[in-house]
Chain A
């Protein structure tokens, strides 16, 4: 099972979509019913500073939901891997 992250199609979360489109091996589809889907066959990593997120938005990055397992969600790093 791959990793899927769903991102609400609104301005404040758009950097997640933009950055994911540049990542090798990552497929971005949508928006469908208001959400983008970020799909990866292996673990996916985000850097808060690269996204330009302030902490309050960063810690809400996954509010759209995901399928996978969080390996790390710290102040600057988010890593999600496939669910076992």
Chain B
């Protein structure tokens, strides 16, 4: 997949919507529209199609900058266990992170969450973002984040080296060619370190 220059051009310009199902209609509307203050901007209701598909509502809340967060409400259905969010890193990895343009806005959001009775799960200063975390009535994880600095060429190049190295380790692991595994992050860090050591020594 290295030579992708011959592929047709195609670009993306931000998020239009992300969507998820809900079985809590009133709680969801009151949470997003009233507590968070995201305007309800569109709803479509439809007979289920193709055959066997339940009748449904599909509705959208404005999350700024042209983006929306959307829900499906499937009539006459019960929530299957396999789409219930559960309390685990694996489940919370799928989440929505909204952007604010000023660090002070995070403080404003913390005050608002407290005022409307939404529990703050935690707040964290990461390497390039500072975030607050909470959940909606469906258990879907939400994040509001402020990016502390723009990404640079250094970030881009480092990301490439990191992922190239990680994919090599994954390939080795999947090939079953010996004792190679990819269970500890040290495997990645030392492999990446050796690669950079060669670069530094080549320059001497």
Contacts and interface: CB of A to CB of B under 8 A. Distances in A.
Interface of A: 4-6, 8-13, 29-30, 32-35, 37, 54, 56-57, 60, 62-68, 70, 83
Contacts of B126: 56-57
Interface residues of B, number: 30
Given A8-B158, A65-B196, A66-B193, 4 more contacts: A54-B124, A54-B125, A57-B127, A83-B190
Main SS at interface, chain A: mixed
Interface stretch (B33-41, B74-82, B96-104, B146-154): B146-154
Given A56-B125, A64-B196, A34 B189 contact: no
Contacts of B203: 32
A69 to B, nearest CB: 8
B162 interface: yes
B197 A33 contact: no
A4 B154 contact: no
Contacts of A66: 189-190, 193
Interface of B: 124-128, 148-149, 152-155, 157-158, 162, 165, 185-186, 188-197, 199-200, 203
B158 A4 contact: no
Given A4-B197, A32-B199, A34-B157, A65 B189 contact: yes
Contacts of A35: 158, 196
A65 B199 contact: no
B203 to A, nearest CB: 6
Nearest to B192: A65
Contacts of B165: 65
A64 B127 contact: no
Given A10-B154, A56-B124, A65 B190 contact: yes
Nearest to B203: A32
11 contacts: A4-B200, A8-B155, A8-B158, A10-B152, A12-B127, A30-B200, A33-B199, A56-B127, A63-B158, A65-B192, A83-B190
A16 to B, nearest CB: 12
A40 to B, nearest CB: 13
A11 B190 contact: no
A11 B148 CA distance: 10
